[in-house]
A and B are shown apart, each in its own frame.
Chain A
Amino acid sequence: MIDRRQALGGIAAMFGASLYAPLARAATAAAAKGGGIPVISEGPPSTQVFTAPQRALMSALSDRVIPTTDTPGAIAAGVPDYIEKLLADWSTPDDRVPIIAGLDAIAARAQTDYKKPAAQLTPAQHDALLTLAMDDKLPGGKAFFEPFRQMVIAGYYTSEIGITQEREYLPVPGSYDGAFPYTNVNKVYSS
């Protein structure tokens, strides 16, 4: 068998040239960013993702995805703020594109069908527009609907209302029962 140490030691330059991704990427990122470990952005969005009409529509639609029932809905849980923060700072810029496009398509359809700014429609009208998007019956509808729905779900079930009111946050001291009667379950347990 070839002694790999000897073989590689003799062709150090070629060896160096064959080295792969982590090194190269790290060097590039470091040059671009400098400094230490990055901070995860908190506080208000660092960039304005939505125009005022887009924001109003996005907010109204989020509350149709998860409406107020016997527990608060998406707006009460702060989901619109979460979505704007997510799209501004916690996701990639590409993620904004289908959301903005979808909101604009829904607004255009609102003008066509109801002759009103989209944010001023009734809940039933918002539901109708969301259904069109879900069924891909308006431009960019499908590309908008599922990511938007997932953002609402993520924002809601990780909010204080989602975790402690819609769901149940298990107490400490805690215990385990591997055969707990389902009839005793009042709410889904938060993770």
Chain B
Amino acid sequence: MAATDTFDAIVIGSGVSGGFAAKELTEKGLRVLMLDRGIMVEHGEGYPYDGKPAYEVPARNSMPPAVMESDYFITKHGYVTPSNRKFYNDDRLNPYAYDEGSKFYWIRPAAVGGKSLIWGRWTFRWAPEDFEANKRDNVAIDWPIRYEDVEPWYKYVENYIGVSGSRENLPQLPDSDFQPPMQMNIAEKWVKPRLESKFPGRKLINTRLTNMTEDKPDQNRTKCQYRNQCGNGCSFGAYFSTQAVTLPAARATGRLTLRSDAVVTNLEYDATKKRVTGVRYVDAKTGQAQVVKARMVFLCASALASVQIMMNSKRPDGRSWFDSSGTLGKYVMDHIFRVSIGGNIPGMTEYIEYGRRPGGVYIPRFRNVGGDEGVGFKRGYGYQGSAYRSPAGPVGFGKSMKDGMRKYNGWQFGMTAFGECLPYEDNRVSLHPTKVDRFGVPLMVFNVTFRDNELKMMADAREQGEAMLRGAGLTDVQSREGEHVPGDAIHEMGGARMGADPRTSVLNKWNQAHDAPNLFVTDGAQMASVACVNPSLTFMAMTARACDNAVKLMKAGTI
């Protein structure tokens, strides 16, 4: 780095949160350095398998078991394939650990853009009651903010990124500022009224997705082409990713410096001034370490990687500079989701879907909405699903089999429950006492388990899911419950929760570390609870909100 380089802010991480921080801060006039531990991937040219059919992808796009087992033995629980694997972490090169009995899947990205390149893209606002739930249930600590604090920022982010969906006026799932929804198929339209009339108050609605249904020519983005190959990278920019949306915006200001392959190990801290004074990183290509400095730091490395960096920023006694509350690394959460229910939808075989639609339909939360209903668990769950027809799979061989494979089965419906996990103090991460990774950072150790409340919730989700599909008239309704492993939903959150009291939280209501007002943590680490809906939109909204405040504070001279 040239000695003349100076930055107003350093953003660590370039996923949905870091990318938004870079955009907001540069657009507000700051000179920003964004660091990401992953490789550089440019929009378009960095997607080598965008639009490529299987015969143009190594191993016909099926990961060879030897490679999967040696290098992707955690990531395989995500959605890694040969066509997208450069976006995914190599588990062999970047190990972590968990306590006996606390299996955790830490599924991480490996490229600039982070998980924004490979995410599920389901996009929901949290509800007013999600920010009130801890107080209402007397669980953990109350949020220091309410829905109204975030609402304008939801609106701002949604209008910028493009979210397709339908207005529903549901208190438990506030509407976004939507582009038109992707249409339901004929079989989903058949299920909807039957389910809703049989179960008053329950809804089956269009998915809410950052796959656009209208172009954004000002951002050089084209609406979804219905390929459903999003995970390979989308040169149309049809779904939200850092590459397609926030990185071009930040670059357009001329004030962004982006360094890939920059593995942040720790933050430097001035105990007298109570400020972060530098960010130390190792160049993954050369192994060289250096420290960069700026007035403020946005830590957006993903929930538990951000916690790891904070934990590895140590006082002489080994504790983190940012853990005067003693809560850093605690109250780690994920959504619980290995319950799925499916069945056959009778009739309508004269119709089929044309095009490959990403997303599907959603059944919003109906349990404990507005108060505890005495169903034996707190909070609730929603279902993500779709109706579809699959090609037939006849047995045997020869012409009759080949001909048989030219037909489609009838309509089927499948859905998966996503449930809220409560914050527990002893669901925690810590640094390994002796083992370090190739960059000298102590390995993360996970001690996170789902508890009685989550398991009861999933049992209910299974039972209710079966009842709803049967009640709606589906046949051969079946359900299954897989192994519930925290991290598996890739919605890991918490570990540096926000709160009003510095004695019981790591961050204040503006995402500032209580112990360092020029350190902002705006990714999933901040969460004091996790709702039951997908979190990325909330990460983005909270990031934009924190950036707005940070720049005000900087201009006022208080940080």
Chain A positions near chain B (C-beta within 8 angstroms): 1, 4-5, 8-9, 12, 15-16, 18-23, 25-27, 29-30, 33, 36-38, 40-42, 64-67, 69, 82, 89-92, 127, 130, 134, 149, 152-155, 157-160, 163-164, 166, 169-170, 172-183, 185, 187-191
Contacts and interface: CB of A to CB of B under 8 A. Distances in A.
A188 B390 CA distance: 9
- Top 4 A-B residue pairs of the complex, sorted by shortest distance between their CB atoms: A178-B185, A176-B355, A180-B354, A26-B95
B93 interface: yes
Contacts of A91: 64-65
Contact of A163 (B53, B58, B91, B92): B53
B144 to A, nearest CB: 24
A127 B396 CA distance: 11
A182 B226 contact: no
A74 B195 CA distance: 45
18 contacts: A12-B433, A15-B99, A15-B445, A19-B432, A20-B100, A23-B443, A29-B71, A37-B93, A40-B67, A66-B401, A164-B53, A169-B53, A170-B354, A174-B227, A176-B183, A181-B352, A188-B391, A189-B356
Contacts of A181: 350-352
A36 B355 CA distance: 38
Contacts of B408: 182, 185, 188
Sort chain B's interface into a size bin: 35 or more
Contacts of A1: 425-426
Given A170-B356, A174-B225, A176-B183, A154 B60 contact: yes
Contact of B99 (A18, A26, A164, A185): A18
Contacts of A154: 60, 62
Contact of B397 (A65, A177, A178): A65
Contacts of B407: 188
A178 B428 CA distance: 45
A29 B69 CA distance: 9
B92 A26 contact: yes
Contacts of B99: 15, 18-20
Contacts of A42: 58
B103 interface: yes
Given A19-B98, A42-B58, 6 more contacts: A9-B433, A12-B433, A15-B433, A23-B97, A40-B63, A178-B183
Q: Which residue of B185, B351, B426, B447 has the most chain A CB atoms within 10 A of its CB atom?
A: B351
B354 A177 contact: yes
B59 A176 contact: no
A147 B350 CA distance: 34
B127 to A, nearest CB: 28
A190 B225 CA distance: 15
Interface string B319-358: 0000000100000000000000000000001111111110
Q: Which residue of A23, A42, A69, A163 has the most chain B CB atoms within 10 A of its CB atom?
A: A23
Contacts of A190: 53
B54 A163 contact: yes
Contact of B349 (A30, A152, A180, A182): A182
A176 B353 contact: yes
Contact of B430 (A5, A82, A155, A179): A5
Contacts of A25: 73, 92
A182 B351 contact: yes
Interface string B402-418: 11011110000000000
A36 B100 CA distance: 29
B489 to A, nearest CB: 18
Given A29-B92, A174-B227, A66 B354 contact: no
A17 B353 CA distance: 54
B73 A22 contact: yes
Given A12-B433, A22-B95, A182 B225 contact: no
Interface in B76-130: 82, 90-93, 95-100, 103
Contact of A127 (B186, B398, B403, B432): B398
B506 to A, nearest CB: 15
Contacts of A12: 433-434
